[in-house]
Amino acid sequence: MALALIELVLLTTTVLLARFGLADVLHALTFPGRFTGAVLLVVSFTTLLGAAAVPDHWIQHCFPYSGLVALVGAFTALLANVMMLASTWEDGDSTYYKSVFAVLSVGSAAAAFTVWRTSVMVPTPKRVAVAVIVPSVIAVANFGYQNLYQPNERDTRPVITLSMGKAVLSNDRKAFAVPVDITFQNRGERSFYVLGSEFHAMAQRVQLSPKDRLQQQWRTDADQWSKSSEMNPLSRKEIHEAGDLLEAKPWMPFGYWIESNDTFATRLVVQLPINTPYDQVTFYATANLARKDRIELQPPLHFLTNSWNAKKVPEWVKKQRTKGIDFLVYRARVHENNAVDEYTRDARWATVYWRFGEHGATVVTSITRHGEEGRVAGSAEQRDVTSRYGLVELRTGPYVRNLWDIKSQR
């Protein structure tokens, strides 16, 4: 009976670890992930040897060191199952795998104890101890790096720069155009998926007060900061009105990626009639990214729906619609960067909300399980998702262009 249970534990451990290890060696997104896969394959081979040695140790006695091999296999299975249990318990969603590794941990502990009780002959205890301890330390160190250090290592942040060119009048001098150059520079060692991007221009009227404005008027201006994405200055002379959205569009393709040490540049043109009532134009550009070593985005990141025609949109989107804000919704399946998380976590989707209204535009992204798009995550959960998938939100602006010099050329 004991022999059958030991064989079942060791063979089951072998199959599971080999499955995870092979998937990591072939498909993990990082070198540590592939190294982990190689370690899992070595461990699975060790447990397989242990399973092969158990019948000889109990019954045949053909190989004098079969007991030692069985003991090493059982101890290796115990160490591997405990680490897999810790990993799935911390990050996994699958109750099945949590239960399996819990049972295997108990079973491999019992197997190691049972084999040890059979008076296993150890010819050179010190060498055997070193042979067992060194791989164990390597495995534990790699596990700690994968699960503790790497998720918290310093992020690399690309840079967005925006510059305005010289305004150009049309031939009939009734309109003008302002060219805007946007450059994305990825100077780090990481590559990034572009989940979403947006460029928008806001137009503002700015009057000058003949008298100095009082502090109470500054307070009134400051109260508007919480009601808008713009923060107009507290000025002694300038009277700013709320900005109006002049133009908005994506400036990088959805699902596009930027490799390390690469650059993406584009030029956009904003046009206005020469008799425009606005005094200033303000430019903004943003990009929402995900690190390619933390996430695999299954193409395409496709258009899903919009907020004005769809019935099944999150409740928070419906609330925004009552304020005159609309959304375009894009979605793609995402995969984890290692096999253990891929098998033990529920499927996730990246959802991108391209938001626009009369007073601005933004991009909002989330990575959730299917059906949980409407759930508002807490700050701790948001930080965990951001760290796990390497989410980065880049912003540049405001860049202000005064229009008085152009309007004077009428």
The helix-helix angle for 95-116 and 2-27 (nearest 10°) equals 130
Residue 380: the pLDDT is 84
d(CA 300, CA 288): 16
Which residue shows structure tokens 């060696």? 25
List the beta bridge partners of residue 363.
354
pLDDT in tens, the chain (410 residues): 677 888 898 999 999 999 999 999 998 888 888 888 888 898 899 899 888 888 876 777 676 667 778 888 888 898 889 888 988 888 888 899 999 999 999 999 998 888 777 755 555 554 445 445 555 555 555 555 555 555 545 556 799 999 999 999 998 889 999 999 999 999 888 899 999 999 999 999 988 888 888 888 888 888 878 777 777 788 888 888 888 999 999 999 998 999 988 999 999 999 999 999 999 999 999 999 999 989 999 888 999 999 888 777 888 888 888 888 999 999 999 999 989 899 999 999 999 999 998 888 999 999 999 888 777 777 888 888 888 899 999 999 899 999 988 888 76
Cβ neighbours of residue 144 closer than 8 Å, sequence gap 6 or more: none
Residue 297 — φ and ψ, nearest 5°? -90, 115
Q: What is the pLDDT of residue 120?
A: 57
Contact status, residue 112 vs residue 368, Cβ threshold 8 Å:
no
Is the C-alpha dihedral spanning 170, 174, 177, 178 positive or negative?
Answer: positive
408 phi/psi in degrees, rounded to 5: -75, -10
Q: Any bridge partners for residue 203, and if so which?
A: 244, 281
Q: Token pair of 200, please?
A: 């928008």
Radius of gyration of the chain (CA): 30
Q: What is the DSSP string of 65-105?
A: THHHHHHHHHHHHHHHHHHHHHHHHHH---HHHHHHHHHHH
Is residue 386 within 8 A of residue 295, CB to CB? The reply is: no
Whether 171 and 246 have beta carbons less than 8 Å apart is answered as: no
- Supply the pTM of this predicted model: 0.84
Dmax of the chain from CA atoms?
105
Strands 296-297 and 280-291: unpaired
What pLDDT is attached to residue 127?
47
CB burial of residue 337 (10 Å; 0-12, 13-18, 19+) = buried
Structure tokens at 198: 């947006």
Give 330's strand partners: 303, 352
